[in-house]
């Protein structure tokens, strides 16, 4: 039986965080303070959980974190996931979300192991602004090299994620439009969500979809491209068809009604929504000796409880019990 929640949404997309460590400290994500406690499981544990999920109808597996490329052994892990078969007998669609810092060396081995696509986060096409946001000096060149290596390796479409923050990088919209056209990558602007470790989110910092579209149109007229319903981004190109921009607008234009995602945290807990107030301890049950069918049954019961939508910006909004870096974006 496939995974379906009680609101009738089919769940086909699993995001697995394989570490909550990160070598960046992006201002909208992590705290600048030291001393956080991290958690990781052996790859064999993730693999067993992924296998059970895939056996229940998951078709896409995205590895994330934290920074997934910090985990030695990720290439072998990808190779093992590529051996699994979905319910329709296909190889799962395996993707990674990474800050790209270590990707230049790893893109080709990951591709050879079975990785299909890469999404790379880059919040400015300007080395100084990039350093101010990531709080890491000299990262920009590495990330650019990582993006180019992903292109060369054929991890297509290469997507570049940019979280826009007023006061930091809202002036980068046109620069990224140029970047998409010149580098042949999809650039996706993401509205800032209240999921950061340091509680700095306000509505005012969010650069909304309407503002982004206005700026893009000043650069060149944009036209919308078709979407699949569960796609998070609304897709656009320019009047001459060169370049692709996605806008992910969970704050101003929520898309929960078509959500097909479930997340597994690096300590093996299921999260049914980024904004869940609860975790569901799959790894705990596994470590207590539950067999595959008991774990599959548990996954179904948890998916059944998936939240209908998030409540960002509404009165009484309660921040989730974990921040993005500890959930897996
Ligand atoms: N370290 C990897 C990376 O940088 O892509 C993977 C993990 S990161 C948490 C995944 C994605 O979440 C990144 O594209 C990041 O920009 C985005 N992200 C993190 N915090 C966010 C927030 N508060 N609002 C919106 N997007 C956020």
For residues 175 and 7, is the Cβ–Cβ distance under 8 A? no
Q: Whose CA is nearest to atom 13 of ligand 1?
A: 121
Q: Whose CA is nearest to atom 7 of ligand 1?
A: 65
CA of 143 to the centre of ligand 1 (A): 15
CA of 4 to the centre of ligand 1 (A): 26
Instruction: Pick the atom of ligand 1 nearest to 194's CA.
Output: 23
> For residue 239, what are the CA distances in angstroms to 101, 108, 173, 249?
33, 34, 17, 22
For residues 297 and 291, is the Cβ–Cβ distance under 8 A? no
CA of 196 to the centre of ligand 1 (A): 9
User: Which of 68, 97, 135, 261 has most ligand 1 atoms within 8 Å of its beta carbon, as the pocket-test mutant?
Assistant: 97
* H or E, element range at 113: helix 103-113
What is the predicted pLDDT for the residue at 310? 87
Place of tokens 């539950």: 290
Record the pTM. 0.96
CA of 128 to the centre of ligand 1 (A): 19
The domain limits of the chain are: 13-326
The CATH class of 13-326 is: alpha beta
CA of 42 to the centre of ligand 1 (A): 23
- Digits of tens for pLDDT over the chain (329 positions)? 899 999 999 999 999 999 999 999 999 998 877 767 788 999 999 999 999 999 999 999 999 999 999 999 999 999 999 999 999 999 999 999 999 999 999 999 999 999 999 999 999 999 999 999 999 998 999 999 999 999 999 999 999 999 999 999 999 999 999 999 999 999 999 999 998 888 889 999 999 999 999 999 999 999 999 988 778 899 999 999 999 999 999 999 888 889 999 999 999 999 999 999 889 999 999 999 999 999 999 999 999 999 888 888 788 888 887 888 888 87
What is the predicted pLDDT for the residue at 44? 98
What is the predicted pLDDT for the residue at 35? 61
For residues 151 and 137, is the Cβ–Cβ distance under 8 A? no
CA of 289 to the centre of ligand 1 (A): 34
User: Which of 28, 29, 322 has most ligand 1 atoms within 8 Å of its beta carbon, as the pocket-test mutant?
Assistant: 29
Alpha carbon distance 112, 56 (integer Å):
26
């Amino acid at each position: 039986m496939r995974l379906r929640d009680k609101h009738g949404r089919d769940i086909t997309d699993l995001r697995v965080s394989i570490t909550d460590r990160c070598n960046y400290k992006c201002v909208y994500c992590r705290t600048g303070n030291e001393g956080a406690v991290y958690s990781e499981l052996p790859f064999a544990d993730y693999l067993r959980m992924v296998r059970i999920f895939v056996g229940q109808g998951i078709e896409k597996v995205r590895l994330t974190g934290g920074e997934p490329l910090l985990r030695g052994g990720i290439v072998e892990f990808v190779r093992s996931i590529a051996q699994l078969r979905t319910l329709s007998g296909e190889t799962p669609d395996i993707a990674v979300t990474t800050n790209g810092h270590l990707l230049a060396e790893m893109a080709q081995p990951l591709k050879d192991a079975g990785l299909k696509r890469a999404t790379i986060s880059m919040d400015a096409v300007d080395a100084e602004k990039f350093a101010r946001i990531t709080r890491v000096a000299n990262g920009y060149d590495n990330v650019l090299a990582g993006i180019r290596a992903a292109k060369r390796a054929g991890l297509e479409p290469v997507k570049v994620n940019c979280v826009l923050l007023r006061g930091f990088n809202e002036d980068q919209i046109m620069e990224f439009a140029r970047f998409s056209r010149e580098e042949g990558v999809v650039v996706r602007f993401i509205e800032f969500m209240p999921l950061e470790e340091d509680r700095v989110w306000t509505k005012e910092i969010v650069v909304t979809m309407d503002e982004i579209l206005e700026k893009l149109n000043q650069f060149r007229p944009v036209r919308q491209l078709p979407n699949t319903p569960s796609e998070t981004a609304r897709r656009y190109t320019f009047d001459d068809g060169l370049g692709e921009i996605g806008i992910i607008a969970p704050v101003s234009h929520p898309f929960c009604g078509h959500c097909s995602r479930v997340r597994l945290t690096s300590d093996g807990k299921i999260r049914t929504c980024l904004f869940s107030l609860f975790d569901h301890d799959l790894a705990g049950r596994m470590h207590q000796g539950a067999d595959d069918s008991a774990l599959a049954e548990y996954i179904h019961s948890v998916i059944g409880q998936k939240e209908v939508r998030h409540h960002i910006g509404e009165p009484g909004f309660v921040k989730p019990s974990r921040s993005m870096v500890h959930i897996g974006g």
